[in-house]
Structure 1
Amino acid sequence: MDLAGQNECQRPLMERLISVSAVFEGSEDIASARGMARDFLESLQAVHGLPVSKRAMGMVQLVVSELVTNARKYAPGPCLLTLEANEGAVEVTVWDSSPALPLILAPDPYRVGQHGLEIVIALCRSFEFHREPVGKRIRAAVVLADDPGGAPAGHQMM
């Protein structure tokens, strides 16, 4: 009997990668992307026993919606959405074929539209983007559980 193999199967949950990915090609797929995020978070709770606050559930779906919408709007071809549980957060990663990096505009209450990334950055613990050999990858992390002291999920309080 291989004890190393048994130990591998008995590793603590957060040492194991929990993720899901899907390709989206049409604007009608944005609702499907939100549904995938909801199903993933529900699975983290029901199957893996990870805490997911109601606030985090809504925030992850909003981040997915904004990032997939931007990819479908500004890049030709499909986009790839990956959700991964990592260190008490869900990392939302979207790859698309456009090498143009997102333009993050300064907050402007008089501007109509183009507030998506502004919202995503405000909700997330971290936000980053970089060019790939083909296209770009955008990653945002949302904390899964509200702080026991009352701080909402999202940015960690300093």
Structure 2
Amino acid sequence: MNEAAHNGYRLEMALVRTSAQYEGRPGDIARGRELAREFLARVGARQGTPVSRRAGDLVQLVVSELLTNACKYAPGPALVDLELSGDQVEVTVWDTAPALPVAQPADPARIGRHGLEIVKAVCHHFEVRREAVGKRTTARIRLADDA
């Protein structure tokens, strides 16, 4: 719970957040996109936060790409967290691999391995941190289209 001060009182504000664990099984990437769709529907309906169609597509794309990388390159489980943070959705994927990913230079002739390059291009913020076990990749996507 977040807390805010208002007129000398502490108010608790519920976080809008969801999480899921994936094991790298067939269908996990589709389940990750469905988690994102359900989360965004809840954000729009319950919180009254406008979610543009483009932003919804981008959140699903980012979840899909980051979860694909985790399932493909890290042994063991992967955790996906989605959290509303102001006018943005924060997508965080934790996996067991300690190696930090590196985006390849743009190369239209390269087949595949463009996921991280795409994620970095569509996000407002991107960061990868090593953890005691594995790493945590975080991306933020604005919910409203830029004017």
Q: TM-score, normalised by structure 1?
A: 0.84
1:122 equivalent in structure 2: 121
Q: 1:17 aligns with which of 11, 15, 18?
A: 15
1:65 equivalent in structure 2: 64
Larger radius of gyration: 1
2:40 equivalent in structure 1: 41
CA contact (8 A) 1:56 1:144 kept: yes
2 CA distance for matches of 1:18 and 1:48? 8
2:4 equivalent in structure 1: none
Corresponding pairs, count: 139
1:112 equivalent in structure 2: 111
Deviation at 1:7, TM superposition (A): 6.4
Deviation at 1:8, TM superposition (A): 2.4
CA contact (8 A) 1:27 1:69 kept: no
- Describe the SS at the equivalent of 1:99: coil
1 CA distance for matches of 2:105 and 2:134? 24
Q: Does 1:32 align with 2:35?
A: no
Q: TM-score, normalised by structure 2?
A: 0.90
Which runs of structure 1 show a deviation greater than 2 angstroms over 4 or more consecutive aligned residues? 6-9
Deviation at 1:103, TM superposition (A): 1.8
* Identity value in percent: 54
- Describe the SS at the equivalent of 1:92: strand
Structure 1 unaligned runs (5+)? 10-14, 150-158
Structure 1 counterpart of 2:93, one-letter code: V
- Per-residue deviation, residues 16-72 of structure 1 (Å, max 9, x unmatched): 421100101124211001000000001000111001000001000000000000000
Q: Does 1:8 align with 2:11?
A: yes
- Per-residue deviation, residues 87-132 of structure 1 (Å, max 9, x unmatched): 2100000000010110211111111110000000000001000100
1:153 equivalent in structure 2: none
Q: Quick one: structure 1 residues 131 and 27, their matched pair in 2 at CA, closer, same or farther if it must change by over 3 Å?
A: farther
| Structure with the bigger percentage of strand | 2
